[in-house]
Amino acid sequence: MQTIGRLEVIVGSMFSGKSEELLRRLRRAVIARQHVQVFKPAIDNRYSETKVASHARNFFDAQVINCADDILRLLRDDTTVIGIDEVQFLDETIIGIVESLADRGIRVIMAGLDTDFRGEPFGVVPALMARAEQVDKLSAICTVCGEPATRTQRIVNGKPAHYNEPIVVVGASECYEARCRKHHEVPRD
């Protein structure tokens, strides 16, 4: 039986539960006896080298990839569901790869940051969102006021990171906070 493939994108700020939602969907696919493969970029080694991990310390075995093409190289013939965490760290070839996988009948579930610490679109995520059948944007809780947070605040030496700081700095609560629009700061001077 041919299944209809699809792209699902889970986005939001850090600490919004993106990886947790990805893991929930993957666990449900396993319960449904679907053949699942999970991938994560090598750069994300915060909680585990070989597992997708949420901040809540839930885990799922994953294959570590250095570039998007590694997914095709590692793909098993019987795979029906693919999970990709931290998709914002992958190169632009991921767009064509996931499109072709969905065209082949594979459900591809991706999680990643939609914006960087500056509040600007992050890498390939906007293009993936535009192509997806389903997009879920999650929010966290602002560490300043407790309102819904949709932004990721990078902190350097106790202060908001300057606009010109590097875009990619892998970390967790030691250098990032969830913030609402009002309390998200990106100094430019």
Q: Which whole number is the average pLDDT over 80-99?
A: 97
Q: Do the bridges between strand 6-12 and strand 151-156 make them parallel or antiparallel, or are there none, so unpaired? A: unpaired
Question: Encoding tokens for residue 62?
Answer: 């994953």
Q: pTM for this structure?
A: 0.91
Residues labelled as active-site residues: 86
pLDDT of residue 47: 56
Alpha helices in 4-139 (DSSP H): 18-31, 69-74, 93-103, 125-131
Alpha helices in the chain (DSSP H): 18-31, 69-74, 93-103, 125-131
Task: Say what percent of the chain tops pLDDT 70.
Answer: 89
Contact 160, 152 (CB under 8 A): no
- 3 pLDDT above the threshold of 80: no
- 4-36 pLDDT, tens per residue? 899 999 999 999 999 999 999 999 999 999 999
Contact 13, 152 (CB under 8 A): yes
Q: Which whole number is the average pLDDT over 150-155?
A: 96
pLDDT range class, residue 168, cuts 50, 70, 90: confident
Domains of the chain: 6-138 (3.40.50.300)
pLDDT of residue 169: 80
CB count in 10 Å sphere of residue 119: 18
Distant-in-sequence, close-in-space partners of 183: CB < 8 Å, separation ≥ 6: 142, 143, 144, 145, 153
CB count in 10 Å sphere of residue 151: 25
